[in-house]
Structure 1
Amino acid sequence: MPKNKGKGGKNRKRGKNEADDEKRELIFKEDGQEYAQVLRMLGNGRCEAMCIDGTKRLCHIRGKMHKKVWIAAGDIILVGLRDYQDDKADVILKYMPDEARLLKAYGELPENTRLNEGPWLAVSLCFCDVMHRQGSYKGKQFFGNDTYFMT
Structure 2
Amino acid sequence: MDNHQACQRIRVKEVKNEADDDKRELVFKEIGQEHGQVLRMLGNGRCEVMCIDGTNRLCHIRGKMHKKVWIAAGDIILVSLRDYQDEKADVILMFMPDEARLLKAYGELPETIRVNDGLPFEDDDQGADDYIEFAEEDIDKI
| TM-score, structure 1 normalization | 0.73
In the alignment, residue 19 of structure 1 is paired with which amino acid?
N
Alpha-carbon distance, 1:117 to partner: 1.2
Aligned equivalents of 1:11, 1:39: Cα separation in 2: 40
Provide Cα deviations, 1:39-67, integer angstroms capped at 9, x if missing partner: 00000000000000000000000000001
For 1:44, the equivalent position in structure 2 comes to 44
For 1:83, the equivalent position in structure 2 comes to 83
For 2:134, the equivalent position in structure 1 comes to 131
Structure with the larger RCO, 1 or 2 (CA within 8 Å, 6+ apart):
2
For 1:3, the equivalent position in structure 2 comes to none
| TM-score, structure 2 normalization | 0.78
- Counting aligned pairs with the same residue, the percent is 64
Matches within 5 A, 1:1-151: 6-8=2-4, 14=10, 15-21=13-19, 22-119=22-119, 124=127, 125-126=130-131, 130-131=133-134
Instruction: Assess, with a 3 A threshold, how the Cα gap between structure 1 residues 20 and 106 changes in structure 2: closer, same or farther.
Output: same
Total equivalences in the alignment: 129
CA RMSD of aligned residues (A): 2.9
Q: Which structure is higher in helix share?
A: 2
In the alignment, residue 131 of structure 1 is paired with which amino acid?
F
Q: Which structure is higher in strand share?
A: 1
